[in-house]
Amino acid sequence: MIQSVERAVRILQCFEDQDQLGITQIAKKAELTKSTAFGLVSTLVETGLLEQDPGTSQYRLGLELFRLGNRVDADGRQRIISELTVLCETLGETVNYMRPEGSDIVYLVKKETSHSMRICTTIGQRLPMYCTAGGKAIMAYLPEKQREEILQSFRFSAFTENTLVTAEDLRRELVTARTEGCAYDREELELGLTCIAAPILNRFGYPIAAVSCSGPTTRMTPEKLRQCQAALTACAARFRDL
Amino acid sequence: MIQSVERAVRILQCFEDQDQLGITQIAKKAELTKSTAFGLVSTLVETGLLEQDPGTSQYRLGLELFRLGNRVDADGRQRIISELTVLCETLGETVNYMRPEGSDIVYLVKKETSHSMRICTTIGQRLPMYCTAGGKAIMAYLPEKQREEILQSFRFSAFTENTLVTAEDLRRELVTARTEGCAYDREELELGLTCIAAPILNRFGYPIAAVSCSGPTTRMTPEKLRQCQAALTACAARFRDL
DNA sequence: GTATCGTGTACGGTATTATCACACGATGTT
DNA sequence: AACATCGTGTGATAATACCGTACACGATAC
């Protein structure tokens, strides 16, 4: 673990909730000396990961960071995007492409339906696996050892009355998810929001991503869910050897 | 300048043209010892900026980098996107939002027209200011000192026979750009491609971004260009105090 | 007008820190 | 089966980054 690098990243992460920060605020948020922070920030500015506003002399995230971020999983995202467009049109709901990170999932691509009432997911958002269809779909297909590690690591929080908040409840659901090839989120994250997701497996059967469909519960009838299941698993199958 | 941080960024930049790399390749590309590279890479993996493929044990850019990259100029991009949608529809050509970095511009947002023959720009791409309409629009409104610095820093390369390859030619064009409020790219980057761009100024009159319209020269008639000029400058004006 | 607080920036001594050469085990190749 | 190459450790050396301190500047308050 190289200290300076870890600290530099911590500085970048300070900007997740604020987009302009002064040196003093950065030092405080990252728990660093002002002079230490200054050295790190200067380096980050030099490399383009941060930039300094000429007017306010405050710092913000830089364009080099944008460029690098755009390269993350560029081919996977490129390949999925046309599939999602088709899925979105045929299902008439918002569809997403997400990937696991630790015990969370991160949204990488979305395609929103044009319904007035629709689900709006946020690109780059991180959510716990246990309360999302995509997360459960991925968990279901993980090797048992890894799945148990993740199950143990959760610090459950009941977002709604439906949220599964015990490892046992989750294990039970994951069994059915494996038999169906799909996992569900039945208003477990937000009331009125139902999701269904299928895992994308690599050639070794390891889940590397998921595609999901999110809609208002009122529109997600049993029949619609069957349609989603068929479409999502078919889509996921086309990406088997990503 | 903190050495480790600068080296860590260099490692991330190794992935601009390749998306999977082993430790040895990383060390070679970044000109580092293998063990040094290993320490840096381990730290980057720990922080999520890199991730290791469980199968191949190779490294690639991580999701935390994606998340951070998505936060760059998030509000500016959010605000411009609906404007670009309208612009794209009224003009019937691909429109872009870009920002300066050093003597280059970087594409941040695009909206593509649905014409079969259309210009496809690449988000995150970096191009020299001197051969793009957006770059020239921004240069035209920079304080003279900074503009001259940039003009001197160019290492000109003639992409087409129209490319301006001397500081004098550029200076002359920038004068007219200031009077018009718009800059042009008349097949200077690629034959058959014409662009026009207007700078977005902050409340101090400093150019912080540009909006551009790119189309095939055959469709970019004088009349169309006048229409573009009006629409682009109007759009840019709405963003004056970003 | 003066004083105080905040800011961003700069320097130099100290010891923590990262670096490098070397080595190990595992894969896969000739 | 020997070999090459990969990713991964280790530990001694010295280069490195950290911290305390200090300064210039601007804003606010008195």
What phi-psi label fits residue A185: left (phi over 0), alpha (psi between -120 and 50 degrees) or beta?
Answer: beta
The neighbouring-strand residues paired with A106 are: A99, A126
Instruction: Give the C-alpha separation, A193 to A229, whole Å.
Output: 17
B91 contacts B45 by C-beta, under 8 angstroms: no
Q: Chain B 75-134, CB below 8 Å of chain A: which residues?
A: 75, 99, 101-102, 106, 108, 123-124, 126
By CB neighbour count within 10 A (0-12 exposed, 13-18 middle, 19+ buried), where does B156 fall? middle
CA distance from start to end of chain B: 31
Q: Nearest by CB to B69, from A60, A68, A206: name it.
A: A68
Identify whether the C-beta of residue B97 lies closer than 8 Å to the C-beta of residue B79: no
- Minimum-distance nucleotide, CA of A33 to C1': D19
CB contact under 8 A, B9 and A49: yes
Instruction: Output the furthest CA–CA distance in chain A (Å, rounded).
Output: 62
Amino acid at residue number A238: R
Smallest CA–CA distance, residue A37 to chain B, in Å, is 11
Question: What is the reported pLDDT for A241?
Answer: 66
pLDDT value at residue A57: 86
Positions in chain A short of pLDDT 70: 241-242
What type of residue sits at position B58?
Q
Low-confidence ranges of chain B (pLDDT < 70): 241-242
Nearest C-alpha neighbor of A115 from the set A215, A15, A237: A215
pLDDT of residue A202: 87
d(CA B122, CA B108): 9
Nucleotides of C under 7 A from a protein CB: 6-12, 17-23
Per-residue pLDDT tens for A124-148? Answer: 999 999 999 999 999 999 999 899 9
pLDDT of residue B239: 86
Mutate to test the interface with B, among A16, A36, A66, A104 (most CBs of B within 10 A): A66
Q: What's the pLDDT at B19?
A: 87
Q: Which of B19, B63, B67 is closest, CB to CB, to A75? A: B19
Structure tokens at B172: 């002359």
Whether B23 CB is under 7 Å from strand D: yes
- pTM exceeding 0.75: yes
The pLDDT assigned to B241 comes to 66
Looking at residue B221, what is its pLDDT?
Answer: 96
User: Which residues have a Cβ under 8 Å from the Cβ of A28 and sit 6 or more positions away?
Assistant: none
Residue B52 CB closer than 7 angstroms to strand D?
Answer: yes
Number of H helices, E strands in chain A: 9, 8
Q: How far apart are CA A9 and CA B47, in angstroms?
A: 7
Cα gap B9→A3, rounded to integer Å: 14
For residue B89, give how far its alpha carbon lies from the nearest alpha carbon of chain A (Å): 17
- A20 in contact with B, Cβ within 8 Å: no
Is A38 exposed, middle or buried (CB count within 10 Å of its CB: 0-12, 13-18, 19+)? middle
Residue whose pair of structure tokens reads 């936060």 in the numeric block: B71
- Helix (H) or strand (E) holding B105, with range, is strand B104-111
